[in-house]
Structure 1
Amino acid sequence: MAEVESFQLDHTKVLAPYVRLIGSESGPKGDIITNFDVRLVQPNEQEIPTAGLHTIEHLMASLIRDRIDGLIDFSPFGCRTGFHMIMWGEHTPEAIAKVIKSSLEAIVNVIEWTDVPGTTIESCGNYRDHSLWTAKEWSKLILERGISSDAFVRKVV
């Protein structure tokens, strides 16, 4: 089996919340794609409940695009501790951490239920599994801890 970088990461050594550059790849035409580990809670100590994580996912898909160009995908980890963030081009963990922080601040301070995209049977594969209240509470907690641009040393942005 192929080695997967994130399964080689020692999850006992990281200090969440953080943004970590997993790697960059160049396509056949020279396009660069970067993959980030956006870890919102400490692995094996906490996990974001599914409904809240689902709502954060839907909101971040729009909020990130409002703040930076080049987002390809923002997908939750199955362990519910964070997300993969796939971007066109090269970006620094610090720049991505600032975007994540600003987006979470919007979830806490601005977003209302009517702002959450993809919450109907037509637009979501599990439309009943959302919780804006949970998304707001976890976003507050993450912001209180601060988002680091380094996975192993706290460099809060």
Structure 2
Amino acid sequence: MKKMNVESFNLDHTKVKAPYVRLAGVIEGKNGDVVRKYDIRFKQPNKEHMEMPALHSLEHLMAEHIRNHTNQVVDLSPMGCQTGFYLTMINHDDYEEVLDILEKTLRDVLNATEVPACNEVQCGWAANHSLEGAKQLAKEMLEKRNEWPIVFAE
């Protein structure tokens, strides 16, 4: 296949085994800052996906709570395919610590009593949320914590 400009378009999605956390890219800025992008895959590509209300709430919860565990997050964004998220961090290169931060964040999701910014002032589709769905996704991901470093099926 022709090499594409988008890193994930060059990933053979038939060879990965979700759930996993994968370093998907590193960019060094001209002033020495280093940005790392992680592929946090919750669901097996082309086999399953997260339903939008649950994914949307999980995005709000993770984006808010992950910043309680590190100040190096640039962004946490859902994938359009609804199978995971991208986490972008600046000047942070410890993969194991990323896994720990993600684990703490997902535990925060399990303990949440509401979805942050779930209103028409702060959210573009406030009616499209599911706290229970987000908690279920977090629970499923945490149950397979030991598998996160394993990206490819054998």
Stretches (4+) displaced over 4 A:
none
1:85 alignment partner, one of 84, 87, 97: 87
Whole-Å Cα distance in 1 between the matches of residues 40 and 93 of structure 2?
13
Give yes or no for the alignment of 1:148 onto 2:152. no
* Structure 1 residue 3: Cα displacement: 1.8
* Structure 1 residue 97: Cα displacement: 1.7
- 1:82-117, CA deviations, whole angstroms, 9 ceiling, x for partnerless residues? 011111113233221221122112212x1102xx21
Alignment correspondent of 1:20: 22
Q: CA, structure 1 residues 153+65, in 2 after alignment: closer, same or farther (shift >3 Å)?
A: farther
Whichever residue aligns with residue 139 of structure 1, its letter is A
**SS of alignment partner, residue 20 of structure 1:** strand
Whole-Å Cα distance in 2 between the matches of residues 2 and 75 of structure 1?
21
* Structure 1 residue 27: Cα displacement: 1.3
Whichever residue aligns with residue 112 of structure 1, its letter is T
Unaligned runs of 5+ in 1: none
Whole-Å Cα distance in 2 between the matches of residues 107 and 55 of structure 1?
10
Task: Please identify, of 85-94 and 28-37, the stretch whose mean Cα deviation from structure 2 is larger.
Answer: 85-94
Whole-Å Cα distance in 2 between the matches of residues 12 and 92 of structure 1?
27
Give the percent of matched residue pairs that are identical in Structure 1 and Structure 2: 38
Whole-Å Cα distance in 2 between the matches of residues 150 and 22 of structure 1?
14
Whole-Å Cα distance in 2 between the matches of residues 94 and 13 of structure 1?
23
Q: CA, structure 1 residues 51+93, in 2 after alignment: closer, same or farther (shift >3 Å)?
A: same
Aligned residues between the structures:
151
Q: TM-score, normalised by structure 1?
A: 0.88
Alignment correspondent of 2:124: 125
Whichever residue aligns with residue 150 of structure 2, its letter is D
| 1:6-155 to 2 correspondences below 5 Å | 6-108=8-110, 110-113=111-114, 116-146=115-145, 147-152=147-152
- 1:17-44, CA deviations, whole angstroms, 9 ceiling, x for partnerless residues? 1111111111121211111101111111
**SS of alignment partner, residue 118 of structure 1:** coil
Q: TM-score, normalised by structure 2?
A: 0.90
Task: Please identify, of 48-57 and 87-96, the stretch whose mean Cα deviation from structure 2 is larger.
Answer: 87-96
**SS of alignment partner, residue 35 of structure 1:** strand
Whole-Å Cα distance in 2 between the matches of residues 41 and 92 of structure 1?
24
CA RMSD of aligned residues (A): 1.8
